[in-house]
Amino acid sequence: MDSKYTVSARKFRPGSFSEIVGQEHIVRTLTNAISKNRIAHAYLFSGTRGVGKTTSARVLAKALNCKKGPTTEPCLECDNCKEITDGISMDVLEIDGASNRGIDNIRELRENARFSPTKSKYKIYIIDEVHQISKDAFNALLKTLEEPPPHVVFIFATTELAKVPDTILSRCQNFEFRSIATKDIATQLRMIAGHEGIEATDGAITLLARRARGSMRDAQSLFDQTAAYGGGSVSEDDVKLILGVADRTLLGNIISAVIEHDRVALLDLSEKASFTGSDPALFLDDLAEMTRDIMVAKISLERLPDYSEDEKQKLIKWGKSLSFDEIQRMFNVLLETSERMKLFGQPALCLEMGLLKLAEKRDVVKIDDLLDKVDQAQAVIEKSSPDVVAEHISRPPIKNRMVDENVAPAPLEISQAVTGGAVVEPGNIPEALKAASRPPVPGILENASIEVKGDAVVITVVDRFSLETLEVRDTKNSLEEIVKKVVGGPARIVVLLREPKDAPADVKKNGKNDGTVKKQIMDLPIIQKALDIFDGEVAHIKVFKEG
């Protein structure tokens, strides 16, 4: 038995430009630069993890320091190439930016950079995660980047390009590495499986490639893990079990149940997802991705290369059963569920409730259709009715109004002012507000009471969080603009908090004295809202003593 095992990510690490996968734009630029002898003194490689930044830096170092170089095809056989591959070259120094981030480390680097390479053409510094270097250290490095020694080449790598100072960026050639396509990752995994004598099904390879989400290193690590579990074979069932990957058949059944509004089936499918061990958050991500793919299938089927023909036909079928607005609503519900899942301690419960919400029967009404209906109604009124000038009715201030703590506050009466001649259909406004608002507003409005009273739209919410959210100036202005478009005239949004009927009585029991009780009554949101709407004031509060 071979005692020296090497993981796939290291064993099959590209050693030349021709072996680099999914970064053709970078390979072409670098090879052309070497061929034309246009080698820069500093390069910056940026991109997500596992896409080949450090690997490409090593390949570039081999191309520059190969005994046959500079060359676009390093021999991989000379001492220089072998030492770079093994990480022991004295002229190619790999530095971790996280552990060498101080100004003293950079000063030492600057001092060493002045000396010529020992046996190669270039002294090359590869600094990984360069964004973690401190600000002072970056400043110390600037001088060397401005006037570098002719024998020095810097290659920086980072996963967070935004954290690299502009002064550094302007002195480097920046190469942005892309996420690797799923099909390219799958091809590489098949090559590894064949080389290692591992039996891997196409379904398993595809699942691993998708789960890697563009990272070749992640895909290779997952492949090693599942191969170890399967004892030398990789099956689709093993991948689903180990990684908690959602079964596409299960996802498809959920989509079908949503289209048919079958809540009973959704409860069963949600329970099945939990029973199979799928991570609720990952399951939700997979469902959101499939929802997105349904939308894409309605637009351009060619943009879904990772699906089999049978899967594509299912996407087309679902797309015909759903409108664009319905698909967008499904996606928004999944996003809201994902956010709630992060805040709530029972993700499986959030998943179940989110799936049930997807099955709600709702007639999606477009804002444009509502506006057209309002315009048509207004045109009819203008033809059949003379112009009427609305009179402003002033309401005198509220005087000598007594708040009895034993009686629940009466519902607010809002002025029945003329709305500028537009016909207001109360049933249209709630749908318009929910359809045109951004999360979390639609979710709040789902549980709120929405009434049209004169020139005001009264939204009564059930909790203080919802009240504070809708009272934010930008949110409230946005809602008023939506209502204005629907009714064709100015409108106000009034947000109320639904109070329990015995609120004043509770205040009475908890208060220590008359002054405290009166203050607590005045602080009630419904009292404050009434004063704001009617521009009034409370002249007298009578507190009844117990007994």
Quote the strand ranges of 60-187, DSSP E.
92-96, 123-128, 152-158, 173-176
Domains, the chain, with CATH or none = 8-176 (3.40.50.300), 182-243 (1.10.8.60), 248-358 (1.20.272.10), 365-547 (3.30.300.180)
b/e string for 361-373 if b means 16 or more Cβ within 10 A? eeeebebeebbee
Residue 9 C-alpha from the chain's centroid: 28
Distance CA 415, CA 396 (A): 13
The type of residue at 117 is P
* CA dist 494 → 476, 485, 536 (Å): 9, 17, 16
Which has the higher per-residue pLDDT, 3 or 118? 118
Whether residue 383 has pLDDT greater than 80: no
Q: Cα dist. 24→179, 180, 332 in Å?
A: 12, 11, 36
Residue 268 to residue 260: CA distance in whole angstroms = 15
For residue 422, is pLDDT > 80? no
pLDDT in tens, 223-280: 999 999 988 889 988 888 888 777 788 888 999 999 999 999 999 988 888 777 678 8
Reduced to 3 states, what is the DSSP secondary structure of residue 42?
strand
What's the pLDDT tens digit per position in 35-88?
999 999 999 999 999 999 999 999 999 999 999 879 999 999 999 999 999 989
Residue 327: pLDDT over 50: yes
Beta bridge partners of 460: 449, 496
Quick check: 34 pLDDT over 80? yes
Check residues 470 and 404 and name the one with the higher pLDDT.
470
Distance of CA 70 to the CA centre of its chain: 43
Helix axes 248-259, 347-358, angle to 10 degrees: 40
Rg of the chain on CA atoms, in Å: 33
Note the pLDDT of residue 142: 87
Lookup: tokens for 533: 């709407």
- Pairing relation of β-strands 456-461 and 449-453? antiparallel
Question: Of 4-13, 111-120, 208-217, 268-277, which gets the smallest average pLDDT?
Answer: 268-277
- Residue 413 phi/psi, 5-degree rounding, is -100, 120
pLDDT, position 376? 61
pLDDT of the residue at 413: 40
The pLDDT score that the predictor gives to residue 147 is 85
Which among 141, 124, 131 has a CA at the least distance from the CA of 47?
131
The order of strands in the sheet holding 173-176 is 92-96, 123-128, 152-158, 42-46, 173-176
What pLDDT, on the 0 to 100 scale, is given for residue 242? 82
pLDDT over 80 at 171, yes or no: yes
259's tokens: 């289209």
Instruction: Assess whether pLDDT exceeds 80 at residue 537.
Output: no
**Residue 392's pLDDT band (cuts 50, 70, 90):** very low
How far apart CA 273 and CA 283 sit, in angstroms, is 8
- pLDDT band at 123, cuts 50/70/90? very high
Q: What is the mean pLDDT of the chain?
A: 80
Which is nearest to 220 in space by CA: 14, 59, 23, 12? 12
Inter-CA distances, 7 with 18, 188, 225, 241, Å = 21, 14, 10, 22
What whole-number distance in Å separates Cα of residue 496 and Cα of residue 414? 12
As a whole number of angstroms, the distance between CA 123 and CA 125 comes to 7
**50 and 58 Cβ atoms separated by less than 8 Å:** no
Q: What is the pTM of this model?
A: 0.60
